[in-house]
Amino acid sequence: MQNKNIVLMEGEVVEALPNAFFKVKLNGGGEIIAHLSGKMRINHIKVAQGDRVSVEMNEYNKEKGRIVRRL
């Protein structure tokens, strides 16, 4: 079952933070703190500063997100 409150956005990784957290600048403006999704951790997909990423966010809390794909 898919959650209908999820918003998918694209952005660019600005800074790598400890514990697999990243500061992401969104295309629509604004910056959020995002962490890697479980599938990206399991498959050892690396994300570095400057990478374009796809981020899932809850429509009620637009300050945090989850990186689901590297573009």
The enclosing domain of 49 has a CATH number of 2.40.50.140
pLDDT higher than 70, residue 44: yes
How far is residue 34's CA from residue 7's CA, in Å, rounded to a whole number?
13
Mean of pLDDT values over 18-33 = 95
Domain hosting 47: range is 6-70
**Percentage of the chain modeled with pLDDT above 90:** 83
What pTM was computed for the model? Answer: 0.89
Q: What is the pLDDT of residue 57?
A: 94
pLDDT higher than 90, residue 16: yes
> What total number of domains does the chain contain?
1
Mean of pLDDT values over 56-71 = 94
* Planar angle of CA 39, 20, 35, nearest 5 degrees: 60
Q: What is the pLDDT of residue 54?
A: 98
Is there a domain that residue 35 lies in?
yes
Is there a domain that residue 49 lies in?
yes
| 3, 40, 45, 59 from 20: Cα distances, Å | 24, 11, 11, 22
Is there a domain that residue 1 lies in?
no
| DSSP one-letter code for 39 | H
**Is the Cβ–Cβ distance between 27 and 11 less than 8 Å?**
yes
